Structure 1
C-alpha cells in the first residue's frame, strides 16, 4: 500500500506520497496548536481520507506488505521550523522456540585403557538428533565424536566426560554433560609361569599397570575359586588333578577405577612322572651293609658281586650296591662262584 506523509499546520493540511520504506510518519509544526498522538488506526484513516480529497488513488495491494515501523524522534524547538515526528513498528515477532527435553547423560563401562566407554543419553524429545563430544579433564579429545569411546594411554590418569547436544527444528538446541568418571587406569592380563603338575608351584606375573597400584590374587580351578589360594604363588594340590588353573588379579589405586583381570588357563593338571629309581648306589662309608632296596654287594677291587645267599656275602665290604644282579652285570661285575 502507499505510504503518505501528513503534515499538519494550524491553518491547513495536505498529503503527499512517500517511498515504500516501511515507515509512516506524522509531523506536527512546533509553532502550531497542540496535537494529540494518534493511534495507528487513526493515522491510517486520516491518510486514506486525505489521499481521497486530493484525488490520490491507491495502487493494487502488494503480494507481501513490508512491516511498518514505529519510531519517535524528538527535538527542542528553538525555531519555528522545528518539528516532531512519530511512527509505528508493525514487525511481527517470530513464535517462541520450544524447549527440548534434555536429560543428563551417563557413561557405562570401566574407565580403563583399552576398555570401551558408552554414552547413555537418556530420553530426549522425540525426533531429536544427537551428537557427542568426549573430553578428558574438560578438554575435547580429537576425533571422539561418537556414542562410544575407548581410552588410550593418552588419557591415562584423567577423568572422562561426554557432552550430548540435541537439535530439532522449532526447538532450542540443548547440550548436557555427564558426570566425570574415575581416573583412567592402566592394566594388563596376568600370566602364569610354572608346570601344571600336582605338588608344583605356579607364579602370577601382573604385567604393566598404573604406578602405585596394589594387587590381590585369587587362584581358580576350572573357574571356581580355590579356598585360601590368594597369594602371588600357588602350590597345586592333588585334588585339582585334571583341572585347569587360572589366576584373577585385582588392582586398586585411590581415585582410579578398580580393575580385575584374569589370566589364561593352564593345561590340565597332571600327576608328576614316577621317580626313576637308580640301579645302584655308591657306598662311601666303611660298612658291611647295603641300603634297603639294593641287596647286591659289588666289590670294586675284585669286580665280583655277591648275593645274600653267597658264602662271602657277610664278609664283603661293598663299594657299590645294586638293586638287581642284572644291574651289577651291566656295571661290569661278575657273579661270585660261591
Structure 2
C-alpha cells in the first residue's frame, strides 16, 4: 500500500470514530500524534490532525436523524344519548363508530358533576337528578393510539312524573276525574280521555261525564305534563272497569203541589191534605173540594207518608 493511501485510510478511520462518538454522546478519542502516525514520506506532508475538543458539530457529522414515537389518532365521534330524561327512565349512550378494536369506558354527569354510579353504557336518573341536565363522556383506548374522550350534548332537564289515576264510578252519566299524582313542581297539565284506547272527541278537561255511548267500554285518561326547559312527559292511566248503564231513575211516589189549580198533576191522582194528614181518592166525596198540598201516585205511597184515607 502506498504512503499516500496509508494516510488517507488513517484519516478516514479517525473521522468515522469521531462521528460515532458524537452520535452516541461519547467523548472523542485523543488525537494521534505525528509519532504515532509515523514520519511522512520525503516530499509529502502528513494530513493535518482533525481538531476536536468535544462532540462533533453538525457540520462535521452531517444531518442528525430523529426516530419518531408519535401515537396514531383514534376515530372518535361525539356520543349521543337516547331515551327520555325523566326520573326512573333509562338513558343509553350511543358512542358511534370508533376505530376498530377500541375499548370504551363511560362516565355520566349531572350538570357537569360526575355521578359516582354512572359508569356503564346506560343510566337511569333518580329523584336526586331532578331538574338537572345529563351528559355522558366516552373514553376510548387502543394500543398504539392516543387515548381520546368525547362528551355528548346535554339532555333537557330531568322531569318527574307519576302515572295518573281515574277516580269516580264507571257508570253512564257519572263524572270521573283525573288524579295526576306527583310531578315536577309548577308543571302544567293537559288531558285527553279515551274509551277502549280511542280518543274521545272534546274530552280534554280534568273531569269527564261518561256518555251513554260508552256503556260496555273502559275509560282511561292521558296526561301530558310540560315545564320550560324540562322534558315533556306523557303518562296514561290504567283503564276503569267496564262502564255500566245507569239504572233508570226511579219515579218519585209523590210531588209537592204548588199550582193554583186544585188538580194534581198527571200520574199523581191522590190528593193529600197536609194539615189533616188525610188523603182523598178521585171517587171520594171530598175529592173535588180538596185543594191538596201533596199529590201521591198511589194510596200505598200516601200511607207510607203517614196519611190516612178519608172516610167519605
Q: Which category of TM-score, normalised to the shorter sequence, fits these structures?
A: 0.7 to 0.9
Distance 1:168 1:268 in 2: 61
- Structure 2: unaligned runs, 5 residues or longer: 1-9, 11-16, 18-23, 35-47
**2:178 matches 1:163:** no
- TM-aligned CA distance change 1:194 to 1:311, over 3 Å: same
Q: Which runs of 5+ in 1 are unaligned?
A: 1-7, 9-14, 16-21, 38-82
Question: What is the deviation of 1:277?
Answer: 2.8
Deviations 1:301-324 (A, max 9, x none): 666533223333212333443211
Call closer, same or farther: CA 1:299–1:210 in 2, change over 3 Å.
closer
* TM-score, normalised with respect to structure 1: 0.69
Matched, 1:328 2:302: yes
Tell me the equivalent position of 1:64: none
What is aligned with 2:279? 305
Give the whole-Å Cα distance in 1 for the aligned partners of 2:252 and 2:123: 64
Equivalent-residue separation in structure 2 for 1:152 and 1:335 (angstroms): 76
Question: Are 1:25 and 1:86, in contact at CA under 8 Å, matched by a contact in 2?
Answer: no
Pick aligned residue for 2:238 from 260, 264, 276: 264
- Can you list the C-alpha shifts for 1:255-282, whole angstroms capped at 9, x where unaligned? 2222212222222222223323333345
Residue in 2 that maps onto 1:123: 97
CA distance in 2, matches of 1:274, 1:265: 25
Report the equivalent of 1:73.
none
Higher helix share: 2
Structure-2 change in CA distance of 1:172 and 1:277 (3 Å)? same
- Counterpart of 1:84 in structure 2 is 54
Displacement of 1:116:
1.0
Secondary structure, aligned partner of 2:54: strand
With 318-327 and 152-161 compared, the bigger mean Cα shift is at: 318-327
What does 1:137-148 correspond to in 2, within 5 Å?
Answer: 137-148=111-122
Query: What is the CA–CA distance in structure 1 between the aligned matches of 2:257 and 2:213, rounded to whole Å?
Result: 39
Larger strand proportion, structure 1 or 2? 1
Q: Distance in 1 between matches of 2:148 and 2:174?
A: 63
Name 1:26's counterpart in structure 2: 28
1:254, 1:302 → 2: CA distance? Answer: 72
The alignment of Structure 1 onto Structure 2 pairs a total of residues equal to: 274
Cα distance in 2 between the residues matched to 1:329 and 1:252: 62
Cα distance change of structure 1 residues 303 and 247 upon mapping to structure 2, 3 Å threshold: closer
- Report the counterpart of residue 87 of structure 2 in structure 1: 113
Q: 1:292 & 1:34 partners in 2: Cα distance? A: 148
- Which of 188, 192, 198 is residue 172 of structure 2 equivalent to? 198
SS of the residue 1:171 aligns to: coil
